[in-house]
Amino acid sequence: MQRYEPAEIEPRWQRVWEEEGLYRASDDPEDTRPRFYALDMFPYPSGDLHLGHAEAFSGGDAVARFRGLQGHNVLHPIGWDSFGLPAENAAIKRGIHPKQWTYENIEQQARSFKRMGMSFDWTRRVQTSDPEYYRWTQWLFLKLFDMGLAYRKNAPANWCPNDQTVLANEQVINGFCERCGAAVVRKDLTQWFFKITDYAQRLLDDVDTLEEWPERVITMQRNWIGRSEGATVRFAVEGTDDDVEVFTTRPDTLWGVTFFVFASEHPLVPKLAELGGTSEEARALIHRLQATPLTNREQAESREGVRLGVHVVNPVNGERVPVFVAPYVLMEYGTGAVMGVPAHDQRDFEFAREHGLEIRVVIQPPEEERDAASMTEAYDHEGVMVHSGPFDGQRSPESIAKVAQWLEEQGLGRPAVTFRLRDWLISRQRYWGAPIPIIHCDEHGEVPVPEADLPVELPEDVDFRPGGESPLARHDRFVKTTCPTCGRDARRDTDTMDTFVDSSWYFFRYCSPGYEDGAFRREDVERWPVSQYTGGVEHAILHLLYARFVTKALYDAGMVPFVEPFARLMNQGQVIFGGASMSKSKGNIVEPMPLVERWGADSMRLTMLFASPFEDDIDWKLIAGDPDRRPGAHQWLGRVFAAVADSAAGGGDEPMELVRLTHRTIRGVTEDLERFRFNVAISKLMVLSNEMRQVLDAGGAARGAAEALVQMLAPLAPFAAEELWRAVLGHGESVHVSRWPGYDDALAAQETLTLIVQVDGKVRDKVEVPADADDARVLELAHASENARRAIGDREVAKEIVRAPKLVNLVTR
């Protein structure tokens, strides 16, 4: 009998697969198979693969292999997101070059992927830190620059004092650096931005077309974009010729404005402070605010603020209202100034109470008199407009649009939409990234590097330790260049790009491997739209939003034929340990590769996929806490080996019941894999293998079941399936190029079923009946049931519910 020895089997087939080139996607125009692009989020090379990779790629690979078996021409590529800060930090710590650290890790991960038996098309491998790749990342930058979607401006930015670089808003978590956890501070810097806000509406609208995305990701994207409808209104600043605009979602409350507040960074503030002869106190506050981090919540949640000593005029009623500066107003949202309506906005209410300002009710709740003096909180629900001039008696919120309309007619404002989404800050003051391909010329300003001169290579001999400015700025040979326009001395931009730029387009590059005349060919991308994207939910906003934006921009440039990059998205759950995420500091990290060496890649995959639904978290401690204990998956594979070997050896007729179960299993597993229900698919395979064992032990044959079982195992445990298919069942070709087994619905149907006999909805008996038993027959059987009769007792059956052949319910009352 064949013993299951993964340590012997797996490396052997790994070599054979490589020699046979089994997993290459075909670009042959004669190839008429339907195409399937199975994309996995590419890894960051921070060391060897971790358990999260094992989980994600086990699922992604199962999908790719399953589609291949179903007759698709599958593109299943792999690459590395290999620029980025952690490489630099790790390199500094180890005293080596980031390049060395990165590429060693890539090679290690590549070996591990091969050891895991991933069905990657290695000929399409990309690494974002390769000049052949980032050449096109730079091209993308220039394309966006051409389109007016990349621009540079001086603005307060989130600065991480530890990593010594700016961060995108998306990378600041509650005021702390996403990567290192240091408190973020504010710094005024000239930075490059991508104008993602131009696409806010389209990014929001098209989210509705992503029917195959997880609901929670859709919701997160919507919330992040954060669309608000309302109006902008212009207030005149008394004593000047200046106007100041505010955005409000509640123009219906305009008659309740009793004060006005600026963000401290608002450009008008210095002028107004001077005009109002503002106190030392005000100056001190403004100064302090401008030195605090953008995202300092404690600051923002206070209701402090100071009068500037000037007034603005409410355009709807001509009233003068006092002007303040306060930290609760953010420069980044809306216009950086708000109108204060304390009666109907909680923040304004608190501010008014704090500073003794008038509270004026202009939306009267139904059935109830509200008066300002007794209010304990703002009223922000529906009601009737009062003290509102021409709008008295109108119902809010229906009146909001009417007021906005009216403002436009009166020339006081107009309906407006504001988004929470900010432009994407893409420049970084660190070394290990793609240089921004811009040359600064005194004469000609920001001049794009000519496409023919790309890539702007990242020099290796750089002192890359962070120092508050870009390390590249210290590298004279890099910096000094000539202006492409006038040929005079000029300076290269010394910032590098956010690595999310690298990863915003890598899935296009896979379609045109090695292409040297462009980032990709349009026809390749058209041929290979992503069919399935697999990866972690931690990218629900950042990466996915950026990739969607870049795809839309490239669509507008005529370079790709679709507006959404990923039709289907599947998020695997996280692998945690003992209820907590794994981390070095907790000392609970489990390395997958030693387990793969010990128990086999197939066991690792099956353990992962069987543990829970793919999108749910797996607590490794619960499912495989003891590394010395033989995993259940390994045990089962051993039983499968025995059963298949016995089936191959034995002859004779296969019992009809086993044939039927086989067909039923094929039908079920096919459906399950289509819906990524790997855990359920595996359980069905277990049922089939258990039944095979029974049949074999009773002296029956099971060859047909064995063949089907092995094929269905192929996407989930590819090495074991291959060994069984070729070495045990004696097939000449790989199971991975075999044709997914079909099923016959008639055979998949049960021959007999269990009839449930209920009395008053309670199960009283179970009777085996032929699958074609009709209503009369099952009713007869139900009445014949001893148990049912006893349950009925001397009562009368008032109603009979018959669902032949599955159920009869006899109702006595």
Partner RNA sequence: GCCGAAGUGGCGGAACUGGCAGACGCGCCGGACUCAAAAUCCGGUUCCCCUCGGGGAGUGGGGGUUCGAUUCCCCCCUUCGGCACCA
Q: Of 82 and 388, which CB lies nearer to RNA in the complex structure?
A: 388
- DSSP SS3 for 274: helix
Identify residue 86 by its one-letter amino acid code: P
Residue 242 Cβ, how far from RNA at the closest point, in Å? Answer: 18
Per the listing, tokens 């595996």 go with 682
Gap between the Cα atoms of 188 and 193, Å rounded: 14
Q: Of 200 and 554, which CB lies nearer to RNA in the complex structure?
A: 200
Q: Of 70 and 302, which CB lies nearer to RNA in the complex structure?
A: 302
Residue 91 Cβ, how far from RNA at the closest point, in Å? Answer: 29
Q: Of 44 and 262, which CB lies nearer to RNA in the complex structure?
A: 262
Spatial CA neighbour of 175 closest among 301, 78, 24: 301
Spatial CA neighbour of 156 closest among 197, 195, 191, 194: 191
Q: Of 315 and 455, which CB lies nearer to RNA in the complex structure?
A: 315
Phi, psi of 189 (to 5 degrees): -145, 155
Distance of alpha carbon 708 from its chain centroid, rounded? 36
Residue 583 Cβ, how far from RNA at the closest point, in Å? Answer: 14
Q: Of 169 and 481, which CB lies nearer to RNA in the complex structure?
A: 169
- DSSP SS3 for 155: strand
Q: Are 338 and 248 in contact (CB under 8 A)?
A: yes
- Beta-bridge partners for 212: 568
Q: Of 398 and 489, which CB lies nearer to RNA in the complex structure?
A: 398
Gap between the Cα atoms of 813 and 809, Å rounded: 12
Gap between the Cα atoms of 167 and 274, Å rounded: 34
* Cis peptide leading into residue 156 (ω within 30°): no
Which pair of tokens denotes residue 593?
């590769």
Residue 767 Cβ, how far from RNA at the closest point, in Å? Answer: 11
Helix or strand run (H / E) with residue 401: helix 399-410
CB atoms within 10 A of CB 521: 15
Residue 79 Cβ, how far from RNA at the closest point, in Å? Answer: 26
What's the burial of 381, exposed, middle or buried (CB within 10 Å: 0-12/13-18/19+)? exposed
Strands, E assignment, 326-474: 337-340, 363-364, 383-385, 395-396, 413-419, 424-425, 427-428, 438-441, 445-448
Residue 764 Cβ, how far from RNA at the closest point, in Å? Answer: 6
Residue 356 Cβ, how far from RNA at the closest point, in Å? Answer: 18
Q: Of 621 and 726, which CB lies nearer to RNA in the complex structure?
A: 621
Instruction: Report the chain's terminal Cα–Cα distance, integer Å.
Output: 62
- Quote the crossing angle between the two packed helices 656-674 and 678-697, to the nearest 10°: 170
Q: Of 121 and 252, which CB lies nearer to RNA in the complex structure?
A: 252
Q: Are 451 and 461 in contact (CB under 8 A)?
A: no
* Angle at alpha carbon of residue 223, lines to 220 and 228, rounded to 5°: 165
Distance of alpha carbon 326 from its chain centroid, rounded? 36
Count the alpha carbons within 13 Å of 479 in the hemisphere toward its beta carbon.
10
Residue 253 Cβ, how far from RNA at the closest point, in Å? Answer: 9
Q: Of 92 and 811, which CB lies nearer to RNA in the complex structure?
A: 811
Q: Of 495 and 672, which CB lies nearer to RNA in the complex structure?
A: 672
Residue 705 Cβ, how far from RNA at the closest point, in Å? Answer: 15
Q: Of 461 and 626, which CB lies nearer to RNA in the complex structure?
A: 626
Residue 241 Cβ, how far from RNA at the closest point, in Å? Answer: 24
* Angle at alpha carbon of residue 187, lines to 183 and 190, rounded to 5°: 135
Q: Are 788 and 809 in contact (CB under 8 A)?
A: no
Q: Of 222 and 522, which CB lies nearer to RNA in the complex structure?
A: 222
For 628-660, give one letter per residue: b (16+ CB within 10 A) or e. eeebbbbebbbebbbbbbbbbebeeebbeebbb
Residue 806 Cβ, how far from RNA at the closest point, in Å? Answer: 5
The 3 state secondary structure assigned to 493-525 is: CCCEECHHHHCCCHHHHCCCCCCCCCCCCHHHH
- DSSP SS3 for 186: strand
Residue 147 Cβ, how far from RNA at the closest point, in Å? Answer: 26
The 3 state secondary structure assigned to 520-548 is: CCHHHHHHCCECEEEEEHHHCCHHHHHHH
Q: Of 510 and 577, which CB lies nearer to RNA in the complex structure?
A: 577
Gap between the Cα atoms of 715 and 441, Å rounded: 57
- DSSP SS3 for 74: strand
CB atoms within 10 A of CB 405: 14
Residue 172 Cβ, how far from RNA at the closest point, in Å? Answer: 9
Per-state percent for the chain, helix, strand, coil, to nearest 5: 40, 20, 40
Which pair of tokens denotes residue 256?
């309740």
Q: Of 404 and 560, which CB lies nearer to RNA in the complex structure?
A: 404
Residue 432 Cβ, how far from RNA at the closest point, in Å? Answer: 25
- DSSP SS3 for 176: strand
Residue 179 Cβ, how far from RNA at the closest point, in Å? Answer: 14
Q: Of 217 and 560, which CB lies nearer to RNA in the complex structure?
A: 217
Using the 8-state DSSP alphabet, how is residue 41 labeled? P
H-only helix segments in 414-496: 476-479
Q: Of 186 and 677, which CB lies nearer to RNA in the complex structure?
A: 677
